[in-house]
């Protein structure tokens, strides 16, 4: 065979050897997190300003999966991965508009647009959190209200525990759930002082609630329409004590001919 | 099943819990394969991503027994091949030459000291480059996939047949023809390289 090259003509064995030796490529580092994110197995996170200072907010395809205060992104990532056992990476996109709006103003109504990824929680815990989500900004409810509303009236302490484990505080407003005796109770995201500050931001007046509670007053009745409510029902604007009838308990209100309010449902 | 692998069992038991392991185990292979098919790192990453996502969604719908019985490697290559074909069908620059890649893609694909990126080499025409990967890219697709899978990805002939959905005999002859075609192309490019430059 005539060839103008001085090198020997290529033979099949050399070609196969060269093909086998062709280096394989390393997948880019972005591939795994991106795949996991797309199938809903990984989460992304943002750092945002909130009423309690900077917080990290994580989300999977299913929804918001964690809200947490941390000293650094690394600390947050470690916490997330050890608690959830799945990878997380910083988001490059902007956080969902509803999250941004809520972190600026916890009372805004964008909460309804949010979805939450509460995998790993029990059915009871999820029920507690979803119920807490219904409490409007500017209002508070006792732990016993959640217990009754989700059909476990005896499980008041368990409600407290479930709220203490809320993986998405602020966005699911567990700070709006307080003790029936008028004290604010615990708060997982920095204690009762922070809880009080959050309620003040939301224009709940904890001092007034405490004053009522110290006199044993749990409900206020609307004399004209003959129904009774939790003191914060309808927001603080209706918390005008002068034209309200105070009640110490349900029985007292019923005996006076008052029915429970349909909005805040102080009784079944 | 020729290669019993604990991964299939783990996926059948707990897909969500084992899927990350599957990606870690196969991501370099599928990315490499996609890169050889597409010739473009950005496309390759998207193809590999899509392939894993499709695999996950398919397994979500499969009964456990079906997942356990999968020939995982061949199945994943097959999905990757299908994703790549679907993408390239709509694309004009399916096999863009190395010179046409953008800076970012080139950085990941070509090492910096690659002789092809030297100015004189870049000016050379593709047919004059005795670069085997480039020659593979120029092969007709029915030869190319078989050749890449057999030698560059190191699959056994039976696995290649399963990936391509072809009879073993067809695969054997296509691999053989591919090597012959490469030999021709390589000889031609060496002859051309040995000739003095004519302008």
| Residue B53 Cα to chain centre, angstroms | 18
Over range B33-55, report the average pLDDT: 95
**Which residues touch A38 (CB under 8 Å, ≥6 apart)?**
A61, B49, B53
In this prediction, residue A154 carries a pLDDT of 96
Work out the minimum CA distance from B154 to partner chain A, whole angstroms: 7
Kindly state the tokens that stand for A72.
Answer: 């650094």
Work out the minimum CA distance from B77 to partner chain A, whole angstroms: 15
DSSP secondary structure of A201-256: HTT--HHHHHHHHHTT--EEEETTTTEEE-TTTT-GGG--GGGEEEESSHHHHHHT
The answer to whether the Cβ–Cβ distance between B20 and A9 falls below 8 Å is no
The residue of chain A with its CA nearest to that of B185 is A10
The answer to whether the Cβ–Cβ distance between A19 and B16 falls below 8 Å is no
Q: At A35, give phi and psi (nearest 5°).
A: -65, -50
Over range A241-259, report the average pLDDT: 90
Q: Which of B49, B133, B182 sits opposite A38 (nearest CB)?
A: B49
Over range A79-90, report the average pLDDT: 86
The residue of chain B with its CA nearest to that of A36 is B20
In this prediction, residue A156 carries a pLDDT of 95
d(CA A191, CA A184): 10
Query: Which of A92-106, B42-56, B113-127 has the lowest average pLDDT?
Result: B113-127
**Winning range, highest mean pLDDT, from A221-230, B100-109, B183-192:** A221-230
**To the nearest whole percent, how much of chain B has pLDDT over 90?**
56
The interface pTM score, or ipTM, of the predicted complex is 0.74
pLDDT tens per residue, range B26-41: 999 999 999 999 889 9
Query: Which of A44-53, A169-178, A201-210, B169-178 has the lowest average pLDDT?
Result: A201-210
Query: Is A264 annotated in the active site?
Result: no
Q: Is the pLDDT of residue B103 over 50?
A: no
d(CA B178, CA B140): 9
Catalytic pick among A108, A174, A233, A261: A174
Q: Which residues of B touch A34 (CB under 8 A)?
A: 49
Q: Is the pLDDT of residue B143 over 60?
A: yes
**Which residues touch A235 (CB under 8 Å, ≥6 apart)?**
A136, A137, A138, A139, A203
The answer to whether the Cβ–Cβ distance between A10 and B57 falls below 8 Å is no
Give the burial class of A240: count Cβ atoms within 10 A of its Cβ; 0-12 exposed, 13-18 middle, 19 or more buried.
Answer: exposed
pLDDT tens per residue, range A183-216: 888 888 888 899 999 999 998 888 888 888 889 9
In this prediction, residue B91 carries a pLDDT of 67
Work out the minimum CA distance from B30 to partner chain A, whole angstroms: 8
What pLDDT band is residue B97 in, cutting at 50, 70 and 90? very low
pTM for this entry? 0.60
* Average pLDDT over chain B, rounded to an integer: 80
């Amino acid at each position: 065979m005539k060839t103008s090259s001085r090198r020997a003509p290529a033979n099949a064995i050399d070609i196969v050897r060269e093909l086998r030796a062709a280096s394989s490529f390393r997948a880019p580092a972005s591939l795994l997190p991106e795949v996991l994110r797309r199938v809903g197995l990984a989460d992304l996170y943002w750092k945002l300003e909130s009423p309690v200072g900077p917080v990290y907010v994580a989300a999977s395809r299913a929804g918001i999966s964690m809200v947490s205060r941390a000293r650094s992104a690394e600390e947050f990532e470690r916490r997330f991965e050890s608690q959830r056992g799945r990878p997380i990476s910083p988001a490059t996109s902007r956080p969902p508009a509803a999250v941004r709006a809520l972190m600026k103003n916890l009372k805004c109504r964008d909460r309804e647009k949010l979805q939450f990824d509460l995998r790993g929680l029990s059915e009871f815990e999820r029920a507690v959190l979803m119920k807490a989500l219904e409490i409007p900004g500017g209002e508070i409810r006792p732990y016993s209200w959640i217990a009754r509303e989700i059909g476990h009236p005896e499980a008041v302490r368990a409600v407290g525990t479930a709220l203490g484990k809320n993986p998405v505080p602020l966005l699911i407003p567990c700070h709006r759930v307080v003790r029936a005796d008028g004290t604010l109770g615990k708060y997982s995201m920095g204690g009762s002082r922070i809880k009080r500050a959050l309620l003040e931001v939301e224009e709940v007046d904890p001092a007034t609630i405490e004053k009522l509670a110290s006199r044993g007053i749990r409900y206020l009745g609307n004399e004209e329409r003959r129904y009774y409510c939790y003191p914060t029902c309808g927001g603080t604007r209706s918390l005008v004590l002068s034209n309200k009838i105070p009640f110490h308990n349900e029985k007292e209100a019923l005996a006076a001919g008052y029915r429970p309010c349909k909005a805040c449902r102080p009784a079944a | 099943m020729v290669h019993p692998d604990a991964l299939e069992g783990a996926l059948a038991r707990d897909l969500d819990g084992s899927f990350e392991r599957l990606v870690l185990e196969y991501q370099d292979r599928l990315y490499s394969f996609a890169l050889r098919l597409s010739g473009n790192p950005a496309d390759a990453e998207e193809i590999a991503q899509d392939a894993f996502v499709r695999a996950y969604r398919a397994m979500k719908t499969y009964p456990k027994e079906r997942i356990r019985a999968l020939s995982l490697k061949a199945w994943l290559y097959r999905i990757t091949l299908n994703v790549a074909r679907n993408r390239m069908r709509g694309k004009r620059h399916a096999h863009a030459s190395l010179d046409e890649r953008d800076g970012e893609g080139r950085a990941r694909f070509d090492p910096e000291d690659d002789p092809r990126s030297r100015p004189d080499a870049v000016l050379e025409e593709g047919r004059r480059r005795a670069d085997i990967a480039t020659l593979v890219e120029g092969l007709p697709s029915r030869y190319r996939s078989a050749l890449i899978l057999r030698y560059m990805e190191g699959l056994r002939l039976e696995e290649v047949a399963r990936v391509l959905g072809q009879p073993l005999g067809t695969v054997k002859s296509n691999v053989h023809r591919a090597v012959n075609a490469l030999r021709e192309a390589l000889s031609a490019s060496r002859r051309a390289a040995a000739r003095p430059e004519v302008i």
